[in-house]
Amino acid sequence: MSMLLEDDMAVSDVAQPFEMSLAAVSKHLSVLAAAGLIRQERRGRITWCMLDPSGMRMASVWMQGFGQFDPVDLDDFERFLEAELREMDDDDA
């Protein structure tokens, strides 16, 4: 998700660094969109992704409300998501 901090990205650009199918990445991005962490928008034939600051803020407040969690490190979170995506892609193969 940190790659979306700089700018909106097309789904194909988000998927490029990962060793999994575009369909698998799209599926995971849909989950993030359903959770309100990112937004997706069709522009012509291309689906663009962007962080949803209000969703990220709400998730951060929710996690901090438990008190047992350390502040969210987005780099660690991204590494966790990448590992999970690879594992799910391996399960689909």
**pLDDT per residue over 57-90, tens digit each?**
888 887 777 766 566 677 787 888 888 888 877 7
For the chain, the average pLDDT equals 83
Q: Can you give the pLDDT at residue 83?
A: 85
Q: Can you give the pLDDT at residue 1?
A: 59
Q: Is the pLDDT of residue 41 over 90?
A: yes
CA dist 91 and 93 (Å) reads 6
Q: Which value, to the nearest 10 degrees, does the dihedral of the CA atoms of residues 41, 34, 51, 21 take? A: -80
Domain count, the chain: 1
Parent domain of 14: 2-92
CATH number at residue 37: 1.10.10.10
Q: Which two tokens stand for residue 69?
A: 């969690």
